[in-house]
Amino acid sequence: MADTASSRPLRRRRVAFLAALLAALLVAVTALTCWGAYRWAEAEARAALTLSGDQRLGLYASSIRNAVGRYDYLPFLVARDHEMLDLLEAPSDSRRDAANRRLETANAVAGSAALYVVDRKGLALAASNWADPAQSFVGQIYDFRPYFRQAVESGSGRYFGIGVTTGLPGYFLSHAVRLGDRLVGVAVVKIDLESLQRDWAAGGERVLVTDENGIVFLSSHADWKYRALRPLPDAVKARLAQTRQYDRSELVPLGLHDGPVMETGARLVSLPVIGMPLIGSLGPARASAAPSPARRAYLMQELALPEFGWTIRLLSDLEPVRAEAAGAAVLTGMGILLLAAAAALGWQRRQTLRLQREARTMLERRVEERTAELLTANRVLREAQEELVQAGKLAALGQMSAALAHEINQPLAAIRTFVASTRLLAERGETAMVRDNLAMIGDLAERMAQLSGHLKEFARKGPARVQAVPVARTMDRALALLAPRLREEEVRVEQAIPPDALVRGDAVRLEQVFVNLLRNAADAMDLCDDRRLTLTAVRNGEGWEIRIGDSGTGIAEAHRLRLFDPFFTTKEVGQGLGLGLSLSYGIVRDFGGTLRAENNPDGGACFVVQLPDAKGGPE
């Protein structure tokens, strides 16, 4: 017994040492696992961020190319205008007046910032802004501008800079004006790219475009404009001062600090927080005393535009990446601790059972040694002893992954219907109607191919093929696709669309909008007794207002603000992905129109499509 009593402190010390060792091991394993989970989640989040950034960079590049491509024909046409040639050949007040008015009209129609012509010495003879004495280019000399020199030397030029006359930035396209082989002047168009920056800023993006010298001249944040990514050499500063490309801008460094380059080509960088003063802008006397500005880390991705000599850079905030990685690390740590707690409880359970077995054995031995009478009592105790039961519950968190698949488009259903009817007609020998059905099937298949092409184009934000589209005929084609369903559900169609209603758009994509809106209207009337579609088109000051109304349940106030968000739907699971209204909204916006939803005073919903009149401008 003495040996047993003396061994207890030693056993306790061993247990304590083992517990401390296991605790240290648990801390080390948890730390390493959390670190690994953090790095893995961070890498995955960065990869997703990089992929999204690459796609957005492609969209920004397309928007810049489209913005410039709309006007690259203008200098060529101006250079061949007979009134410009007469003015450059023999300047006079009457010819200058005629040229000014012609340039003013052309600039207003094209929507460019300015149009003007200069003689071979760089003197502006006529300009679209001739009527504004404070802004007029007429009489100004631009021989120092690179776009003038490029046109003189190679026949054309392009150049971004701040206007020395107006003080407004713009992109200049120039073309040499020749009479035979003789250079008589240069035609120039100035393009305003400020709308691109406003769109970027409105979208909450961090985008900047730099020239070949690394100077930011387009940006979603005004504080970044006309700053250099890195300090400029003296030779570059002197050349910029000579050409006055950025006029009186100081071109101080942006404060960009480069970090490591990722495997994807993206780079980790940091910038001063917007609104904080940059050291380079404080002056030499105060720079040393100024505190270091707060900085923020970004993932910077680049895309070169070689035709312009520019580079687009997208800065993606890394705080969400870090937060996601930290969340993954915390969840991993909690999982390990839960597992460790479950293991500790199991170990404690086994220890309790072992001690109970030892105590029972010792008691039995003592009872056998002292008295045989206690054997009966011992058996009663063993029979009466309750068995110890303990249950453990483990909770596992699972994640569902769902694949997105677009709804089968309506022309396919129409083709199936025509195929079924064609079989019946063929059995009856009605060849003429069979040919008509086959022609319609071919037409639907062709329009399906066109629709797929338009969907891809829309995904790229590319420019739509705008032309005059008759609203009534397009609506009839959309109704034809939905005719079987409308007949089956006894939907009454009340249509009042004038035959002369012509809008600017694309027939196939506008038909897709009508089909989406009509299907949504039919879905909204599914449980209604009176099913009625009201289709109207009315001319107003902005073009044509097309209204698609139904007699359904209307739009809930809580859903109106999210109605056009991607993947938002009020339908049951499996009945739609919530992409139809979002796609329709983007298509109408590409045509220069608007799409909105409202409730009818007498019940039901109404979707209003506003599109420009095709008769009000060139197709």
> pLDDT (tens digit, 9 = 90+) per residue, 117-158?
999 999 999 999 999 888 899 999 999 889 999 999 999 999
3-state secondary structure of 501: coil
Q: Regarding predicted confidence, which is higher, 452 or 430?
A: 430
Domain end point (choices 173, 191, 209): 191
Is 155 a member of any domain?
A: yes
CATH number for the domain including 310? 3.30.450.20
> Is 388 a residue whose pLDDT tops 60?
no
Residue 514 DSSP one-character state: H
> Is 201 a residue whose pLDDT tops 90?
no
- On whether both 78 and 36 belong to a single domain, the answer is no
> Is 316 a residue whose pLDDT tops 60?
yes
Is 420 a member of any domain?
A: yes
Q: What is the mean pLDDT of residues 509-521?
A: 86
Distance CA 560, CA 570 (A): 11
pLDDT digits (tens, 9 = 90+) for 207-245: 999 988 888 988 888 888 888 888 888 888 888 888 888
pLDDT at 272: 84
Is 301 a member of any domain?
A: yes
Q: Which of 86-90, 316-320, 390-394, 566-570 has the lowest mean pLDDT?
A: 390-394
Of the chain, the end-to-end C-alpha distance in Å amounts to 108
Evaluate whether 112 touches 191 at the Cβ level (below 8 Å). Answer: yes
Q: Which of 176-190, 420-434, 586-600 has the lowest mean pLDDT?
A: 420-434
- On whether both 15 and 58 belong to a single domain, the answer is yes
- On whether both 145 and 85 belong to a single domain, the answer is yes
Give the chain's count of helices (H) and strands (E). Answer: 15, 18
pLDDT at 462: 47
| Rounded percentage of the chain residues whose pLDDT exceeds 70 | 82
Residue 507's domain comprises 463-616
Residue 388's contacts (CB-CB under 8 Å, 6 or more residues apart) are 352, 353, 356
- On whether both 155 and 263 belong to a single domain, the answer is no
- On whether both 29 and 146 belong to a single domain, the answer is no
Per-residue confidence band for 453, with pLDDT thresholds at 50, 70 and 90 = low
Instruction: List the one residue out of 619, 417, 441, 461 whose CA is nearest residue 65.
Output: 461
- Which segments within 129-213 are labelled E, that is strand? 156-162, 169-179, 182-191, 207-210
Domain end point (choices 191, 220, 246): 191
Distance CA 578, CA 569 (A): 5
For the chain, what's the residue count? 619
Is 484 a member of any domain?
A: yes
> Is 460 a residue whose pLDDT tops 80?
no
- On whether both 595 and 547 belong to a single domain, the answer is yes
Instruction: List the one residue out of 269, 251, 249 whose CA is nearest residue 259.
Output: 269
- On whether both 121 and 84 belong to a single domain, the answer is yes
205: left (phi over 0), alpha (psi -120 to 50) or beta: beta
- On whether both 580 and 558 belong to a single domain, the answer is yes
> Is 531 a residue whose pLDDT tops 80?
yes
Find the DSSP H helices in 463-595: 471-488, 507-524, 580-590
Evaluate whether 410 touches 481 at the Cβ level (below 8 Å). Answer: yes
Is 500 a member of any domain?
A: yes
Is 376 a member of any domain?
A: no
Is 600 a member of any domain?
A: yes
- On whether both 35 and 93 belong to a single domain, the answer is no
pLDDT digits (tens, 9 = 90+) for 248-275: 788 888 888 888 888 778 888 888 876 5
> Is 284 a residue whose pLDDT tops 50?
no
- On whether both 163 and 57 belong to a single domain, the answer is no
Q: Regarding predicted confidence, which is higher, 394 or 9?
A: 9
- On whether both 143 and 58 belong to a single domain, the answer is no
Is 373 a member of any domain?
A: no
- On whether both 482 and 606 belong to a single domain, the answer is yes
Q: On the CB side of 523, how many CA atoms lie within 13 Å of its CA? A: 14
Phi/psi at 559 (5° precision): -100, -10
Distance CA 386, CA 347 (A): 21
Chain mean pLDDT for the chain: 79
Most confident of 21-35, 81-95, 284-298: 81-95
> Is 493 a residue whose pLDDT tops 50?
yes
Distance CA 415, CA 412 (A): 5
Antiparallel, parallel or unpaired: β 295-305 and 310-317: antiparallel
**How many structural domains does the chain have?**
5
Distance CA 151, CA 105 (A): 24
Find the DSSP H helices in 402-463: 410-428, 431-460
Q: Regarding predicted confidence, which is higher, 565 or 290?
A: 565
Domain end point (choices 141, 169, 191): 191
Other beta carbons less than 10 A from residue 601's beta carbon? 7
Distance CA 554, CA 65 (A): 42
Indicate the pTM of the whole model.
0.49
3-state secondary structure of 618: coil
Q: What are the structure tokens assigned to 395, written together? A: 């909770």
Antiparallel, parallel or unpaired: β 267-272 and 257-261: antiparallel
